[in-house]
Amino acid sequence: MEFRWCAKTTPSADKIARLSEALKVSPYIATILLQRGIETYEEAEKFFRPKIEDLHDPFLMKDMEKAMNRIEQALSDKEKILVYGDYDVDGTTAVSIVFSFFSSRHPGLIEYYIPDRYKEGYGISRTGIDYAAENNFKLVIALDCGIRSNALIDYAAEKGVDFIICDHHLPGDTIPNAAAILNPKQHDCEYPYKELSGAGIGFKLIQAYADKQGLPLDSIMEYIDLVAVSIASDLVDIRGENRTLAYFGLKRLNESPSLGLQALLEGGVQKSNLNISDIVFGIGPRINAAGRISDAKAAVAVLIEKDFNTARKLARVLTERNHERKELDNDLTREAISLIENNPEYAAKKSTVVFGNQWHKGVIGIVASRLIEQFYKPTIVFSENDGMLTGSARSVKDFDIHEAIGACGEVVEQFGGHKYAAGLSIKAENFEEFSRRFEDVVVKNIHSSSLVPEIEYDLELSLDQINPKMLNIINQMSPFGPGNMVPVFRSNNLTSQSTARVLKDKHLKLSVSQNSTSMDSIGFGMSHYLPVVSNRQIFHACYLIEENTFNGRTSLQLRLKDLKPA
């Protein structure tokens, strides 16, 4: 797949010079920081050295006082509380945090509930409400879901069940009539940070309770590693308060993780200094596999477990389910790609909408992401069950797929999510009509540049400007993630020495040269570029800078992202 390269906006020379002087760093580092919104020494200090005191007062969130009053009333009256959450990583970590915190202080009053992906679907369900009512739960704390469940919250009220909704998804025009709604994205919520994960809002809930009860900071900090897992896995913005939460969450994950996370790490992530990427590709899929293949309660069971041997056994089950999930999504992806490539009509479209009546509902979101990688179009993958199609939607840069689904009108039964990822349901009989409407919306609203994958680079360097000090400062900019991605650089007019070769039939290994400077480079999955770098041809490169240790020797290395002939 061909990429378009796009340079980030370069700050003014005056701003670069001022920040460079204030921080005593190179203009290149100053440029990278300015591109991330850091303009002063004070902002840089907060960025490089987060403090737990940087966390906002939870009572700035609309309805937090109401939530506290309702929880305190429930605990005082010995009412049973049900902690309810979605079946993905964000939902299960949120439930684990809130359940563990309250159940350790009020044993016997707190239980948790995760809806069945296949029987109940996403978010709050009638089945879940009926369970609460039948089992005498007077209060439900809903995490990572509920902000659009107006009718269901009314149904719960009829059953004598109150809800506190802790959600980070976009609200609709009217909000549910709940006892309290904690969601910074409400238009009249003055909470200063809007991009918390679902588990992040759960964490603010227990922070508020701890503040009100005069509990020590350690009473909530033991759960901050779970918040980091949710931030990484839900791909939320990692600036502002999320940066503080992720920073201290990773610190705890590396130094003294919860027993459940420790058991999950033992099953597949073997390295000493874990980062956001290790969560995304190592821990997150194992937690997610519980709900994708079977029952997501198994994920919560691991995360709240206090006995390590038991946690180990439970974690092994999740690892086995993750292997099943990999096989399923590989098979389904191959089937979906074959369906698209064997139907010429798809080539002319600007969207991809597919379904299979035997496709496993638990992996269609992963398959949608794989199809984006292959065809790079707004994509929806549906699975059929009892005359209804459940879909997972994924988008391309700068296209709001959540808004596009909403524009398809009454053929959409239910939908929710974010700009780049959403879920929906339609009647099977409406598949063709929905596909037509969705394609029309995409055609009318998408810019042609959004249909070509982009590599955005921070700035252009010559090879002689790269040095260990520069990489050391870049490494201190972690944790990396949305809003603060690992810096990408571009260098022009490079040549390769005669050492360019292919490793394991797919990776490109070479030394690149520019004037009198050479650097080792690796391009994973880039073997097809060998002709571009052979015979001393001149080419341009986009890359990350990293360290490589081989035979006890550590040196700088370029990790290539893309190459173009000069």
Largest Cα–Cα distance in the chain? Answer: 80
Is the Cβ–Cβ distance between 87 and 114 less than 8 Å? Answer: yes
**Within this chain, do residues 182 and 228 fall inside the same structural domain, yes or no?**
yes
**Within this chain, do residues 414 and 474 fall inside the same structural domain, yes or no?**
no
Q: Domains in the chain: how many in total?
A: 3
**Within this chain, do residues 423 and 390 fall inside the same structural domain, yes or no?**
yes
Torsion of CA 224, 227, 231, 232, to 10 degrees: 70
Which residues make Cβ contacts (< 8 Å) with residue 300, sequence separation at least 6? Answer: 92, 95, 96, 99, 112, 114
Q: Report the C-alpha gap between 354 and 4 in whole angstroms.
A: 27
Three-class DSSP category at 81: strand
For 129-181, how does the pLDDT look when each residue is reduced to its tens digit (9 = 90+)? 999 999 999 999 999 999 999 999 999 999 999 999 999 998 989 999 999 99
> How far, in Å, are 149, 170, 180, 424 from residue 167 at the CA level?
11, 9, 11, 18
Q: What is the pLDDT along the chain (566 residues), one digit of tens a residue?
A: 789 999 999 999 999 999 999 999 999 999 999 999 999 999 999 999 999 999 999 999 999 999 999 999 999 999 999 999 988 999 999 999 999 999 999 999 999 999 988 788 778 999 999 999 999 999 999 999 999 999 999 999 999 999 999 999 989 899 999 999 999 999 999 999 999 999 999 999 999 999 999 999 999 999 999 999 999 999 899 999 999 999 999 999 999 999 999 999 986 666 678 999 999 988 999 998 888 877 889 999 999 999 999 999 999 999 999 999 889 889 999 999 999 999 999 999 999 999 988 898 889 999 999 999 999 999 999 998 888 899 999 999 999 999 999 999 899 998 887 888 888 999 999 999 999 999 999 999 999 999 999 999 999 999 999 999 999 999 999 999 999 999 999 999 999 977 789 998 899 999 999 999 999 999 999 999 999 999 889 999 999 999 988 888 889 999 999 999 99
**Within this chain, do residues 137 and 104 fall inside the same structural domain, yes or no?**
yes
Domain assignment present for residue 29? The answer is no
**Within this chain, do residues 149 and 267 fall inside the same structural domain, yes or no?**
yes
For 78-109, how does the pLDDT look when each residue is reduced to its tens digit (9 = 90+)? 999 999 998 899 999 999 999 999 999 999 99
> How far, in Å, are 63, 340, 348, 445 from residue 438 at the CA level?
37, 17, 14, 11
Domain assignment present for residue 265? The answer is yes
Three-class DSSP category at 79: coil
Number of helical H runs and strand E runs in the chain: 22, 19
Q: How many CA atoms lie within 13 A of 16 on its CB side?
A: 13
Pairing of the two strands 454-457 and 459-460: unpaired
**Within this chain, do residues 206 and 118 fall inside the same structural domain, yes or no?**
yes
Domain residues for the domain of 551 are 4-8+455-565
Domain assignment present for residue 334? The answer is no
For the domain that residue 264 is a member of, what is the CATH number? 3.90.1640.30
